[in-house]
Each structure stands twice: as structure tokens, then as C-alpha cells.
Amino acid sequence: MTTFEAPTVVWAALLPTLLVAGGAVVGVLIEAFVPRGPRRLVQVLLALLAVVGSLVAVVWRWTEVTAGSPQHVVGSAVVEDAPALAAQAILAVVGFVGLLVIADRTESGEGAFVAQAAARPGSVDEADSTRAGLVQTEVYPLTMFALAGMFVFAQANDLLTLFIALEVLSLPLYVLSGLARRRRLLSQEASMKYFLLGAFASAFMIFGIALLYGYSGDITFAGLAQAVPETVGMDGLLLAGSVMVVVALLFKVGAVPFHAWTPDVYTGAPTPVTGFMAAATKLAAFVALLRFVYVALPDMSWDLTPFFWVIIVLTMLVGTVVGIVQTDVKRMLAYSSIAHAGFVLIGVVALEQIAISGVLFYLLAYGLATVGAFALVTLVRERDPDGNVTGEATHLSQWAGLGRRNPVAALAMTVFLLSFAGIPLTGGFIGKFAVFSAGVAGGQTLLVVLAVLASAATAFFYVRLIVLMFFTEPDGETVAAVSSEGLTTVAVAVCGVGTLLLGVLPGPVLALAEQGATFLP
């Protein structure tokens, strides 16, 4: 008879995650007990305070870890090391600006979310709840639960914790994707597609975990790494299990051919959720993928490299070629994110320590530009003949002349697009340089050359939008950048300033990222 030994829990190291998860739980209680009138304000303040508190806690834990004390936190299931804390810091920053956009409302008092999620689209109940001014404030605890799952995802050091964190971050996003105020059927379709394809990804992961446990008899990354050179005769089991777990993680980053959900979900989900999801989920998934490959499978590089090469080439090719022909801003940014996933994967396959810091910097720059770009999409709206604000103007042609109607918004969008394109003096340029340099150091020169060519090609659809905004005559006055309560403006300002600072003064952030480039086994 075996006895259960309770794992040693370092509660202080869990503080950043506990603050976010605790904020989510309290948010659920607020939904039950706080009156409808002040509920939205209370939820917004709670969510922002929880994220700021978690960032402060991460800074405190960073000083402890960089002083030489990375550690296992819950037995060997969760670790506190520099890459995990760096990822959590970036997640907290992205989560903060993302929550600002989620919480904002336009000049007419209209938010991005449906008044009553349970109401059938086009029904009398939906019309009544909209006229009554109901607000779907459950989005805040849902966002916090997703963020808490991402925090754990970055720290997961065994296969079961990795799977549980994947589900915790994914399930709230499935719900949030179906809560768009307008085009509700499209939003619900996006939610269903995300859920079904996400279920396949979860199935791949759990099947892969079963195979890896059968191979090694251990679920920890360190135990799996130790078993690779010692176990003889079951290489097929190891390779199949490893590929299945990697496939599940590639689904979350939107790599081809596991990208099918990305364009439709990005288009159908509420735009603030799209921005948050595009930035935060990709970051958490890439850090988890880095940890799995660098810690659990370093001796599998010869076996997995051809697989990664095919994925990277396909991802860059599809993201670039299909992105060029898009006429919808959100779908264009979706294919842009697919291309960026291919670029970042070069850092994963490089298997060099400098690649870890390069990937972290790249994801910070990409996250700020992504949240900022989608925040601006929420403000560019159509107007009916009476001048009332209606839905988002997502067709590229509707952005024509925006530079004349609202030069500040157009200029901010230009900064984000130039960062996506990797133009110097933006964070995107430094991020690409760091990842591509790591790829060359890791012997992936051919991949880097292909990535540079793909990056040059993707610049076409970014520059096309810039030309539309500044050098094309507007077609009437049916589109304008509307004003809001100001939260989105703050988010865009933070993202814009951050994007420029990362391009002009990248040294301090790169130095911090280099300190966070060592995984604890």
C-alpha cells in the first residue's frame, strides 16, 4: 500500500497566480451579490487591481529568483524560474491593456459585448435586454480565469499540469469568443469552431501524455529528459507522444496546419477579446512550448527538427500568401499572427539559450502592437445616415482617408503596422533581429533567410493599409474613429509608447530578457 506524500508548496512563489485567480473568484461572487448598477465599475476596478498586484508580485519574485534561487513550487509540477516570471510579467502588462479595451464603451455607451448572452440572436429578449442597457459583466472574471491559466501554463513543469493549465486558459476564451454584441451568429460560430478544434487539440495532448508516460514512467519534464537516453527500444512511442504534445501547443500558437480556427475566431470574436487572445495566448503557449522542448526533449532535436522545419515553412508561407489577399482588417491581422508564429518558431527550433530571451522580447513587442491594433479597430466605426454609430468598419476600403479624419488614430495604427513589418525604430524590428540571430547561431540559416523573405512580403499588406489611410480619398463620411470613455485611448497610448521604446531603447528590456533565459529542470 502506497502512502500519499503531500507536495511542498511555496506559497510566496504562487502569489502572482493567486492574485489573478483570486480576483477571478471574487469577480464571480460580485456577479452574485453586487447590484447591477455599480457591478461593472466594481468588476473593472477589481480586475485591473488584481493584474497590477500580480505584476508587482512578479517584480518581487524576480528579484528573488535572479539572486540565485529558482525553485520548484508545488512539488515538481510547477517551477519558479526566470523565464516563467518574465512571461508572467509580459502577460500582466498585456492583460492590463487588454482589460482596458475590454472595459471601454463608445460615445453612445455601447460596449463590445452582447447585453444578454443567453438571448437568441434577433429575438425579442435580445432587443429588450439591449434597450434596458444590460451589461455582460461576466467577461471580467472569465478574462481573469484565462489569464490565471496562462500564468500556470508558463510555469508548468510536468505533463498533467500543462494539460490542466491548457484547459483553464482555453475554456473561458471559448465562451468569450461568442459574446460579440453585433454579428452574433458569426460570433457564436467562431466560439463553436474554437471549442471543437480546441477539443481536438486537447485530445492530442492527453493522448501524447499517455504515450510519454508509458515510455518514461514519469510525467515530469526532467524525468522524461532523463528517460530519453536511458530507455531503449521504444523510440516510436517517444516520438509519437512528443509530436502529439507539440501539436497541441502548435494549435494554441496558430501554426499551420493547425491554424484553421485562427481567421474565423479572430473575425467573429469581440474585437477586444481578439486582441487579448492574440497577444496573451500566443505568449503563454510559446513559453510552454519552449520549456517542453528545451527541458524535456533536448536529446530529441535530431528527430523533431525536420518536423519543425515543415511546420515553420508552411506557417510562414500560408500566413504571408493568404494574408496578402485579405480584404478584412481582422482577418488580415489573423494571417499576420500566423506568419509571426512561424518567425517565433525559429527561436524554438534553434535550441540556443539566447533564443529564449529573443522569443520573450519578440512576444512582448508583438503583444503590445497586437492589443493596440485591435483596440483601434474597435474605434473605427460605421455611421448610419442619421449619424448614429453602428458596427466596426473592418473592410479595408472603409479605412481609406482615416489619416485625414483622425490623424492620431491613423498614426498610432501606422506605428503598430510598422512594428509588425519589422521596420527599424520599432519593437518588432528588434524582436525579429533577436530571434533571427538566435536562429543563425543555432544553425537554422536557411530558415532565417526564408523568414526574412516572408517578412518582406508581409510588409505589403501592412503598407497597403497605411497607403489607404493617408493617401486614398475617403468614400463619403460613413466611417469615423469614434470617441469612447477613454480606456481604449489609454491602452493605445501605452502600447504605442511601448512599441517605440522597445525599438529605440531596447537595451534594458533585452538585458532583463537575457537574465530570464535559463529554464529550471
pLDDT, position 382: 78
Find the range with the poorest average confidence among 34-48, 208-222, 225-239: 225-239
Paired sense of beta strands 380-383 and 78-80, if any: unpaired
pLDDT, position 4: 65
pLDDT, position 443: 87
Peptide bond into 16 cis (omega under 30): no
- 3-class SS at 269? coil
Q: What are 359's three cell numbers?
A: 522569443
Bridge partner residues of 7 (DSSP): none
Give tens-digit pLDDT for 434-446. 999 999 998 889 9
Question: 103 to each of 355, 370, 487, how far by Cα in Å?
Answer: 35, 17, 7
- Between 59 and 75, residue with greater pLDDT: 59
Q: How far is CA 27 from the centre of its chain?
A: 22
Q: What is the mean pLDDT of residues 35-42?
A: 88
- 3-class SS at 387? coil
Which band of pLDDT confidence, cut at 50, 70 and 90, is reported for residue 366?
A: very high
Residue 58 above 90 pLDDT?
yes
pLDDT, position 89: 94
- Between 362 and 123, residue with greater pLDDT: 362
Q: What are 521's three cell numbers?
A: 529542470
Residue 2 above 60 pLDDT?
no
Mean pLDDT of the chain: 89
Residue 499 is which amino acid? T
Give tens-digit pLDDT for 381-398. 877 766 666 778 888 888
Q: Helices 82-103 and 139-155, interaxial angle, to 10°? A: 170
Q: What are 38's three cell numbers?
A: 455599480
Give tens-digit pLDDT for 71-111. 888 888 899 888 999 999 999 999 999 999 999 887 777 77
Residue 115 above 70 pLDDT?
yes
Residue 145 above 80 pLDDT?
yes
pLDDT, position 365: 95
Q: What is the mean pLDDT of residues 496-508?
A: 93
Backbone angles phi, psi at 392, to 5 degrees: -70, 140
Q: In this structure, are residues 176 and 270 in contact, taking their beta carbons and an 8 Å threshold? A: yes
Q: How far is CA 158 from the centre of its chain?
A: 22
Q: How far apart are CA 235 and CA 27, in angstroms?
A: 47
User: DSSP characters for 124-188?
Assistant: HHHHHHHHTT---TTHHHHHHHHHHHHHHHHHB-BHHHHHHHHHHHHHHHHHHTT-BSSSHHHHH
Which band of pLDDT confidence, cut at 50, 70 and 90, is reported for residue 315?
A: very high
Which band of pLDDT confidence, cut at 50, 70 and 90, is reported for residue 339?
A: very high
Q: What are 261's three cell numbers?
A: 480556427
Q: What is the mean pLDDT of residues 472-497?
A: 83
Backbone angles phi, psi at 4, to 5 degrees: -85, 130
Give tens-digit pLDDT for 216-262. 888 888 888 888 777 666 778 888 999 999 999 999 999 989 988 99
Q: In this structure, are residues 343 and 453 in contact, taking their beta carbons and an 8 Å threshold? A: no
Residue 470 above 70 pLDDT?
yes
Q: How far apart are CA 26 and CA 56, in angstroms?
A: 20
pLDDT, position 66: 79
DSSP 218: -
Residue 506 above 60 pLDDT?
yes
- Between 50 and 404, residue with greater pLDDT: 50
The cell 493599409 sits on which residue?
Answer: 465
Q: In this structure, are residues 209 and 159 in contact, taking their beta carbons and an 8 Å threshold? A: yes
Kindly report whether the global pTM for this prediction surpasses the value 0.75.
yes
pLDDT, position 385: 66
Question: 212 to each of 216, 248, 300, how far by Cα in Å?
Answer: 6, 14, 13
Q: What is the mean pLDDT of residues 189-198?
A: 92
Q: What percent of the chain has pLDDT over 70?
A: 97
Angle (CA) 181 182 188, round 5°:
80
Helix, strand, coil percentages (3-state) for the chain, rounded to 5, are: 75, 5, 20
Neighbours of 391 (CB within 10 A): 12
Residue 112 above 60 pLDDT?
yes
Residue 178 above 80 pLDDT?
yes
pLDDT, position 436: 94
pLDDT, position 225: 86
Q: In this structure, are residues 450 and 346 in contact, taking their beta carbons and an 8 Å threshold? A: no
Q: In this structure, are residues 498 and 371 in contact, taking their beta carbons and an 8 Å threshold? A: no
Angle (CA) 399 403 408, round 5°:
115
pLDDT, position 36: 84
Q: How far apart are CA 233 and CA 211, in angstroms?
A: 14
Q: How far apart are CA 489 and CA 100, in angstroms?
A: 9
Q: How far is CA 95 from the centre of its chain?
A: 10
pLDDT, position 7: 74
Give tens-digit pLDDT for 264-278. 999 999 999 999 999
Give tens-digit pLDDT for 157-174. 999 999 999 999 999 999
